[in-house]
Chains A and B, each alone.
Chain A
Amino acid sequence: MRKRSTGPDVARRNFLKGATLAGAAALTTPVAANTQVSITSETKPKAAVPGPRLAAAETMPPSKDPVTQTSSGGDFMVDVFKTLDIEYLAMNCASSFRGLHEAVLNYGGNTKPEILTCPHEEIAVHMAQGYAKIEGKPMAMICHGVVGLQHASMAMYNAWCDRVPVIVMGGNIIEANKRGPGAEWVHSAIDPAATVRDFVKWDDQPTSLQHFAESAVRAYKVATTPPMAPVMLSLDAELQENPITDAETLKIPKLSKVIPPQGDSAALAELAKMLVAAENPVIICDRVARTPAGMSRLVELAETLQCAVVDNAGRMNFPSRHPLNQSFRRAVIGQADVIVAMEVNELWGSLNAFSDRIVRASRPTYKKGAKIVTLGSRDLYMKANYQDLGRYQEVDLTIGGDAEASLPTLIEQVKRLIDDGRKAAFEARGKKLAAAKQAAVEQAKSDATIGWDASPITTARLCAEVYGQIKDEDWSLVGTAIRLTWPHRLWNFDKPHQWNGVSGGAGVGYNLPASLGAALANKKHGRFTLAFGGDGDFMFVPSTLWTAAHHRIPMLYIVHNNRAYHQEYMYLQAMAARHGRGITNTEIGTTIKDPNVDYATVAKGFGVYGEGPITDPKDLGPALKRAIAMVKSGQPALVDVVTDPR
Chain B
Amino acid sequence: MNGHKKRLGRVIAIALALGSFAVVEGWAQDVPTGDAGNGKRVYLADGCFECHGRSGQGGAMNYPAPALAQLELPVESFVAFLRSAPNDMPTYSAAVLSDKEATDIYAFLRSLPGRKPAKDFPLLNQ
Taking A442-B118, A452-B121, A580-B95 as contacts, is the C-beta distance between A356 and B53 under 8 angstroms? no
Mark out the residues of chain B between 49 and 65 whose CB falls within 8 Å of any chain A CB in the assembled complex. 49-51, 53-63, 65
Which bucket holds chain B's interface residue count? Answer: 35 or more
Stretch among B3-11, B28-36, B73-81, B85-93 lining the A interface? B85-93
Q: How far is the CA of A465 from the CA of B47 in the complex (A)?
A: 27
B114's closest neighbor in chain A, by CB?
A: A450
Q: How far is the CA of A456 from the CA of B55 in the complex (A)?
A: 10
Taking A578-B90, A578-B91 as contacts, is the C-beta distance between A449 and B54 under 8 angstroms? no
Is A190 part of the binding interface, using a Cβ–Cβ cutoff of 8 Å? no
Is A309 part of the binding interface, using a Cβ–Cβ cutoff of 8 Å? no
A454's closest neighbor in chain B, by CB?
A: B55
Q: How far is the CA of A483 from the CA of B51 in the complex (A)?
A: 13
Q: Identify A450's interface contact among B51, B67, B86, B95, CB under 8 A.
A: B67
**A644 surroundings in chain B (CB, below 8 A):** 49, 53-55, 57, 59
Q: B47 near A355 (CB under 8 angstroms)? A: no
**B65 surroundings in chain A (CB, below 8 A):** 646
**Interface size on A (CB < 8 Å)?**
45
A579's closest neighbor in chain B, by CB?
A: B96
B64's closest neighbor in chain A, by CB?
A: A485
**A452 surroundings in chain B (CB, below 8 A):** 116, 121
**B51 surroundings in chain A (CB, below 8 A):** 570, 645-646
**A355 surroundings in chain B (CB, below 8 A):** 86-88
Mark out the residues of chain A between 338 and 380 whose CB falls within 8 Å of any chain B CB in the assembled complex. 353-357
Is B123 part of the binding interface, using a Cβ–Cβ cutoff of 8 Å? yes
Taking A353-B87, A577-B91, A580-B96 as contacts, is the C-beta distance between A451 and B47 under 8 angstroms? no
CB distance from B82 to the nearest CB of A (A): 9
CB distance from B49 to the nearest CB of A (A): 7
Q: Mark A561-601, 1 if CB is under 8 A from B, else 0.
A: 00010110110011011101111101000000000000000
CB distance from B85 to the nearest CB of A (A): 9
Q: A582 near B50 (CB under 8 angstroms)? A: no
Taking A442-B118, A450-B55 as contacts, is the C-beta distance between A465 and B50 under 8 angstroms? no
* Chain A residues close to B by CB (< 8 Å): 353-357, 442, 445-452, 454, 456, 458, 460, 464-465, 467-468, 471, 483, 485, 490, 564, 566-567, 569-570, 573-574, 576-578, 580-584, 586, 644-646
Q: Which 5 residue pairs across A and B have the least CB separation, nearest first?
A: A451-B55, A646-B59, A577-B90, A445-B118, A450-B57
- 30 contacting pairs across A/B (C-beta < 8 A): A353-B63, A355-B87, A357-B88, A445-B118, A448-B118, A449-B117, A449-B121, A450-B67, A450-B115, A452-B121, A456-B54, A458-B55, A468-B123, A485-B60, A564-B50, A570-B47, A570-B51, A570-B61, A573-B47, A578-B90, A580-B93, A582-B96, A583-B46, A583-B92, A583-B97, A584-B45, A644-B49, A645-B53, A646-B53, A646-B65
* Chain B residues close to A by CB (< 8 Å): 45-47, 49-51, 53-63, 65, 67, 69, 86-88, 90-93, 95-97, 112-118, 121-126
